Amino acid sequence: MSARPLYLGLDLGSAWSKAVLLGPDGQVLARAARRTGMRFEDAAGALRDDVLDRAGATAADLASVVSTGYGRRNVPFADARRTEISCHARGAHHHFPRELDLVDIGGQDNKIVHVRRDGAVANFLMNRKCAAGTGAFVEEIAHRLDVPLEELEPLAEAATREITLSSFCTVFSATEVIKLIREGESPGNLCRGIFNSVIARVVEMGPLGGFIVMSGGVVAAFPVVARILAEKTGAEVAVAPHPQHLGAFGAALVAREGG
Amino acid sequence: MPEFKPFRAQKRMKALMAGHFHGVDAASRDPQRRVAWCTSVGPAELLRSLGFEVYFPENHGAMLGATRKAQEYIPKANAAGYSPDICSYLTSDVGAYLAGETPLQQAYGLEGVPRPDVLVYNTNQCRDVKDWFAFYSREFGVPLVGVNSPVNVGEVTAEHVAGAVAQYRALLPALEAAAGQRFDIDRFREVLALSADTSRLWKACLWKARHRPTPLTFFDACILMGPAVVLRGTPDAVAFYEETLAELDERIAAGVAAVEGERLRIYWEGMPVWGKLRDLAGFLGELHAAAVVSTYCNSWVFDAFDQGGDPFEAMARAYLDLFIARSDDAKEEIMAGLLADFAVDGIVYHDAKTCPNNSNTRYGLPQRLKERTGVPYVIVYGDLNDLRCFSEEQAKTSIEAFIEQVPAGGAA
């Protein structure tokens, strides 16, 4: 083992892949993210090299690597793999060592993970097959509206009326948007409607408790969804630090704890 | 990928199934003999007693799923007006018929599915079977008869049984006409006795999974159940399960585990995903999780065959007792018993998109059963035959995450 043992967590998601590198004492040395692209193996290798570069380390310094996410089986240099449910729970418990419901909104799926006070997962729920309410949904509708992603939230903040897209299906939601455009709905209201729909799809998945932690790329890019979730549930809602990297962070913690 | 341990019985079964299909095929070509198509939990005993060779379209549906040919055929049935939301056995089977193809051609050298002289259904599973058979009644111009069973039944009462008996007796004139022979109650008793033996032996085989480590899994049982479905009521089925039972005892004595390093014991609730059967068996095996019990494979265990007395009453009760036809309260009771009997650590519910009657996830049963027993569960969304409804990665992530959380040897 290297004199400077480092621990790498890799979260190979459907849209984005993320990496977190921990030092010997558990401190975060580097984070990185990139589009997953066509090959999980390539994304994993590039992320590993990226975080090692940033930390001024080499692959020989890696004491343990844990992979998670859809591509977790496609990381040839991983020492162990865990599902994203376990890794997100581990990351959330590190930041918030109390009973909580983790709401992770990713590129292709949504998760609710009920984490006990001791960090154990009590149960979890995932969205069904459709991507309605996920990051892919937000991207699709923004594309239909011809609004750049970075303009969605400022427009939503200017909304004057609450609307929610009701369909479970992303394609049919886009059809609903066309109908609303035809009826003269303002761009701000439509953008707010996208975020309302994201949260509506989450809330109908299952019961949420008194303390909610949010993670994933959607809340990282659009913090407004945390406010909407708090309004809809009446719960205390916190956003995990570096929410897009929570799964990778959890994987790195698992690596440090012996995989 | 973990090592698969095929049973000797599978070789024997292959020959039995070939004999079955060739027998039905030969009967369909012989003007002196008659073929009845029957639903899988329909009155096969009555039909055999009348000399029919019996063919089961649901078995054909499962073959279409397992060979993944269903994917080619379902869209043809959809285009003919059979919705993608209804039973995918039905749509696979009707689609294959419309295409003029069947896996029986490649597997057994048959020209096509054996033509029926009569179609006999029991709606104890669902209404879809009746609509399915109605399609073929129109196609072949042969009579469609059957029994409309009560569903969502709590306790099966004498009134339920009497109603079903009256319906079975009312079938006799049509069946006698199609069979070209008179009904003989002594012959019916003999066939029913053979079904009772088959059922008792099949149950004994399934119950061997109580042993730790289990010598067979749900996935093995999905294959081995073939004769319990298509040959019950024959001496061949009895002999087959006697041999299978002996082989399971041998495995137990030799310490052969179906899943190496069995860590968790899983209850598989709902239909198999036929096109992914082997894949899911390997996946669970890799996670050292053994699917030791299922409601699906237990659906061909009919304790009531053994009750004695009027054979019509025994058959009626057996086909009313069926899990799928019971109320959620009754199902909960049955499942709670099986969880304890098989020392189950966790339940995987398969919510099959096109089989609502065999998806016990939609009215709060998983939540109530967990509350009652403490046994944790996960729900995966898929289908028996229509792989368009199965998101493999998501299902596997759910199962793997569940297995990461479930402690062995006790509820979470």
> Quick count: other Cβ atoms within 10 Å of Cβ B174?
15
Q: Is the pLDDT of residue B96 over 90?
A: yes
Residue A219 and residue A136 share a domain: yes
Q: How far is A116 from chain B (nearest CA, A)?
A: 12
Report the pLDDT value the prediction gives residue B146, as an integer from 0 to 100.
97
- Rounded Cα gap, residues A244 and B323, in angstroms: 45
Residue B401 contacts A, CB cutoff 8 Å: yes
Residues B271 and B362 in one domain: yes
- For residue B24, CA distances in Å to A105, A142, B64, B231 come to 55, 59, 19, 11
A40 and A106 share one domain: no
Looking at the structure, do residues B126 and B209 belong to the same domain, yes or no?
no
The tens digit of pLDDT for each residue in B56-84 reads 999 999 999 999 999 999 999 999 999 99
| Claim to verify: residue A205 and residue A145 sit in the same structural domain | yes
User: Do B207 and B320 share a structural domain?
Assistant: yes
**Averaged pLDDT score across all residues of chain B:** 95
The mean per-residue pLDDT over the stretch A73-96 comes to: 97
Residue A107 confidence class, pLDDT cut points 50, 70, 90: confident
Q: Give the pLDDT band (50/70/90) at residue A81.
A: very high
Range of the domain at B27: 8-185
Please identify, among B185, B201, B219, the residue that sits at the C-terminal boundary of a domain: B185
Mean pLDDT of chain A: 92
The pLDDT tens digits of the residues spanning B135-166 come to 999 999 999 999 999 999 999 999 999 999 99
pLDDT band for A174, please (50, 70, 90 cuts).
confident
CATH number of the domain within which B82 lies: 3.40.50.11890
For residues A231-249, average pLDDT = 97
For residues B106 and B208, state if they share a domain. no
User: How large is the average pLDDT for residues B200-226?
Assistant: 97
ω before B213 within 30° of 0 (cis)?
A: yes
Torsion of CA A140, A146, A151, A154, to 10 degrees: -90
Whether residue B3 is contained in a domain is answered as no
Is B1 part of the contact surface with chain A (CB cutoff 8 Å)? no
Are B149 and B262 contained in the same domain?
no
Asked if A117 and A235 sit in the same domain, the reply is yes
DSSP letter, residue B42:
S
Confidence check: pLDDT of A22 > 90: yes
Instruction: Please indicate, yes or no, if residue B410 is contained in any of the structural domains.
Output: no
> Which of B166, B185, B204 finishes a domain?
B185
Chain B hits for A121, CB-CB cut-off 8 Å, are 401, 404-405
Residues A105 and A229 in one domain: yes
Q: Reply yes or no on whether the pLDDT at A65 is more than 90.
A: yes
Residue B267 maps to a domain: yes
Q: Is B60 part of a structural domain of the chain?
A: yes
Residue B2 has pLDDT above 80, yes or no: no
Task: Give the pLDDT confidence score for residue B240 in this predicted structure.
Answer: 97
> Per-residue pLDDT for A1 more than 60?
no
Please tell me the predicted confidence (pLDDT) of residue B412. Answer: 38
Contact at CB, B401 and A109, closer than 8 angstroms? no
- B295 shares a domain with B238: yes
Mean pLDDT of B119-125: 96
Compute the distance between CA of residue B57 and CA of residue B48 in angstroms, rounded to an integer: 16
**Same domain membership, residue A111 and residue A75:** no
What number is the ipTM of this complex? 0.85
Mean per-residue pLDDT, A170-184: 82
Q: Chain A contacts of B381, Cβ < 8 Å?
A: 128-129
| Residues A18 and A121 reside in one and the same domain | no
Both tokens assigned to B240: 């087959």
B396 class by beta-carbon count within 10 Å (0-12 exposed, 13-18 middle, 19+ buried): buried
One domain for residues B168 and B292: no
Least confident of B3-12, B69-78, B111-120, B294-303: B3-12
Based on the fold, state whether residues A164 and A222 are members of the same structural domain: yes
**pLDDT tens-digit series, residues B15-30:** 999 999 999 999 999 9
The answer to whether the Cβ–Cβ distance between A84 and B405 falls below 8 Å is: no
pLDDT for A14 equals 84
Each residue's pLDDT tens digit, A26-51: 999 999 999 999 999 999 999 999 99
- Same domain? For B26 and B151 the reply is yes
* Inside any domain, residue B412: no
Report how far residue B166's alpha carbon sits from residue B161's, in angstroms, rounded to the nearest whole number.
Answer: 9
Which residue of chain B comes nearest to A72, CA vs CA? B397
Same domain, A113 and A73: no
Count structural domains, chain B.
2
Contact A83 B394 (CB under 8 A): no
Mean of pLDDT values over A54-72: 96
Statement to judge: residues A200 and A228 lie in one domain: yes
CATH number at residue A44: 3.30.420.40
Q: In this predicted structure, what is the pLDDT of residue B367?
A: 95
User: Is the pLDDT assigned to residue A124 strictly greater than 80?
Assistant: yes
B412 in A contact zone (CB under 8 Å): yes
Task: Give the range of the structural domain holding residue A126, as residue numbers without chain letter.
Answer: 97-239
The model's confidence at residue A143, banded by pLDDT at 50, 70 and 90, is confident
Q: What is the Cα A17 distance to its own chain's centre?
A: 10
In sequence order, the β-bridge partners of residue A113 are A102, A124
Going by pLDDT thresholds of 50, 70 and 90, the confidence category of residue B411 is: very low
- B1 inside domain: no
Do both B27 and B72 map to the same domain? yes
Residue type, B81: G
pLDDT tens digits, one per residue of B292-308: 999 999 999 998 998 78
Judgement on whether residues B336 and B283 belong to the same structural domain of the protein: yes
Q: Is residue A1 in some structural domain?
A: no
Q: Does residue A92 belong to any structural domain of this protein?
A: no
Structural domains in chain A (count)? 2
